Structure formats: structure tokens, C-alpha cells
Amino acid sequence: MGEEGTEGTVHLLCLAASSGVPLFCRSSRGGTPARQQLPFSVIGSLNGVHMFGQNLEVQLSSARTKDTTVVLLVGLEELTNIRNVERLKKELRTSYRLIDSFLRDSELIGDLTQCVDCVVPPEGSLLQEALSGFAEAVGTAFVSLVVSGRVVAATESWWRLGTPEAVLLPWLVGSLPPQAARDYPVYLPHGSPTVPHRLLTLTLLPGLELCLLCGPRPPLSQLNPQLLERWWQPLLDPLRACLPLGPRALPAGFPLHTDILGLLLLHLELKRCLFTVEPSGAKEPSPEQRRRLLRSFYTLVTAMHFPPEPGQQEEKAEDATHQAQVPRACYLVSGTEEPGTGWRLVALQLGPRRLLLLLSAQSPIHGLRGLASHTLHALTPLL
């Protein structure tokens, strides 16, 4: 596989490792799908680079020029032992929407954090109770409510799904075109990479879907409108209250400081996160720019300051002195530190939770840690 960026266009190219036959190429420009495809000569060159390195027992991870970056990725073993290329090409087409969603400027962040994008419904306990009862009634333990690719509520078994399927399943649902019901075969990369499961989805309200992961049973016909009405009609108002949660993640009226332009809260043990760049009505910077700032800041603090997993850096520490040097907070200012100029980014880690905030230029530098601590304290009961 390879990814190349040229003049704002990103190409995701998948080649058969043994033969170099192109399996698919998906393109995106400026965060939206593009029809521009890589020339066959470029595809051949990428494969030549891969084969040359492979013959020397060298894995090439990236190659860069002034305005181009080529990244080679390792595919699954099933993609390296291909018996029928044309059949594989046909089967891969069902993944195009999911692949394209990773190339777009997504409102989600689970692809980067490997934590499930979640929202906090106003009446979560009622929805959770109904979800558990519905799961028992239809005979499957894996059920969730998903709005715009984010999990509203889920059964305990759904939450126990491993990475990356726990992230990929709601992301897949959010990437598909609207349908009243679906019976979709899915392979679970961690739990069942060779035997497909069935992902059943039922639209309760436009944008809000009930998702079931199951085996041969139940048949989709068993999930009839009468069954859905019995369980979900009494909760119509709480379900409607979930619809605006997609971009905001937090319930309406949740108290946040007016300087907060965006936030990312991660629970590193539960592998769940809350991500929003629309906590207030401020117009600048744009939501797209806010997402880019927070994604870049997350990458920076994870690589430079905080361990990717809770306790990981402490376990690797050679002595207590090194453990004491593990930071708990950091901040970054774009532009100058003068009030009213530049954006402020602050990160705070406390136990299994990590909070990243994007703050307006009016937020004073000396108050960043206090504001982050207060916000994390307020958000802790939610995640």
C-alpha cells in the first residue's frame, strides 16, 4: 500500500505485494474525494521501490521530495497471498466508502487516537436500559446506538470489542449512505479476521442507527417495525435529543468556559473519547482548522510528552527519578504570547484521562492549567 500527496491531492494505493498488480487507488483533494488517479507509470515506480527494498531485506517506510511524500504501508497477510486478483478487486469495492472516509477531513478522531468516538446523551441511563433489554430480546450481546459515526450507548459486550474493530464499526456505519435497514458482512481484524460476522443496522431516526453485531441469527426480518416500536417508541424524545450530539458530543447547556474553541477528552483505559470543535458559537478559526490544530497537537503531545497508554512510560522508566520527570501538563501558543494574539493549546493528563483544549487568543497564558483542570473535573463524570 502507498500514500502520495501532490499539490494538495492524497492518493491511497494498494498493490499486491508479490506481483505489483494495483488492487485499488483512492484519491482525495482538500479533504474531499477526487477523480484524479495516479498514472500507471507512478504506480509502477512505487512498486519498483517496494520490490527493490524487499530484495535487500529492507522495509521502506517513506520517501520524500520537496513537495511529495510517499508512504508505504504493510497490508494484511490475506492481501499478500492472493489467489484470484480480479475477485479480490471486486470484494474490496465494498470498502471504498470506508477508505474514502479516512481520506476526507473527518469530524471524527478515532483513526488517530484508536479510541471510540462517543457522545453524551442527556438521558443516557434510559437509553442504556432499553438497549440492554432490546439486546436480550433479539438474542445478541453486541448492540449499540450510533449517531453520525459516534457511539451514543452500547452493551457491555460491544464495549469489550478489541481495537481496531471498536473504532471501525461505528466509523463504517457513519460512512455508508442512509438506509432504513442493512445486513452487512464484516470481518473483525482482531476478533475474526477470516470468518465474517453480520452487522445489522436499523434507522430509528434520520442519522441515528441501531447496530447489531451477530452471527447467522437473528434474521433481519425478525427485527420488524412492531418490535422496534415496542422498545423505542416510548423513548422517542430522548432519541431525538441525540441527533444534535453528532458535532457537539456534549449535551446542550453543558457548562464550558467561553474561551474553549475545541476539546478532546480521552479515557485511555476504556479506549473512548469525546471530540468537538463546536462548543461555542465562535466563527474563527473554522471547524476544519480547529480539527487540524487539535489533531496536530494530539500527535505532538503523544510523541513528545505523554505515553500513548496509561502507565506505559512509567513501566519503562528505569528509576524513580525518571518517573518524576513524566509531565502532567503542557501548552503551546501559536503566534505570540501577548493577550489577544495566537491560539492556545493545552494538554493535561490525570490518571487514565487526557484532556486537550483549543482556546481563544483572549485566554491568558498563566490561567491555562487552571482552566484545563477545572474543565477536566467537570467532564470526568461523563467519561
pLDDT exceeds 80 at position 158 = yes
pLDDT per residue as tens digits for the range 80-105: 566 777 877 777 777 777 877 777 77
Question: How much of the chain, in percent, has pLDDT values that exceed 70?
Answer: 79
User: Degrees (nearest 5) of the Cα angle 366, 372, 376?
Assistant: 160
Query: What CATH code would you report for 109-245?
Result: 3.30.450.30
C-alpha cell at 224: 420488524
User: Degrees (nearest 5) of the Cα angle 36, 41, 44?
Assistant: 110
C-alpha cell at 153: 450507548
pLDDT exceeds 80 at position 268 = yes
Torsion, Cα 201 106 294 164, to 10 degrees, reads 50
Torsion, Cα 292 294 297 302, to 10 degrees, reads -120
User: Degrees (nearest 5) of the Cα angle 176, 180, 183?
Assistant: 65
Long-range contacts of residues 20-23, Cβ cutoff 8 Å, at least 24 apart: 20/44, 20/47, 20/50, 20/51, 21/85, 23/79, 23/85, 23/88, 23/89, 23/92
pTM for this entry = 0.81
pLDDT at position 150: 95
pLDDT per residue as tens digits for the range 47-90: 777 777 777 877 666 555 554 444 744 345 545 566 777 877 77
- Could you tell me if 173 and 201 are in contact, meaning their C-beta atoms sit under 8 angstroms apart? yes
From-to residues of CATH 3.30.450.30 in the chain: 109-245
Pinpoint the alpha helices (H) of the chain: 40-55, 77-80, 85-92, 96-103, 110-113, 124-138, 156-159, 165-175, 225-232, 236-240, 245-248, 287-304, 312-316, 320-324, 368-379
Q: Which residues of 206-233 are buried (b: 16+ CB within 10 A; e: fewer)?
A: ebbbbbbbbeeebeeeebeeeebeebbe
Average pLDDT, the chain: 82
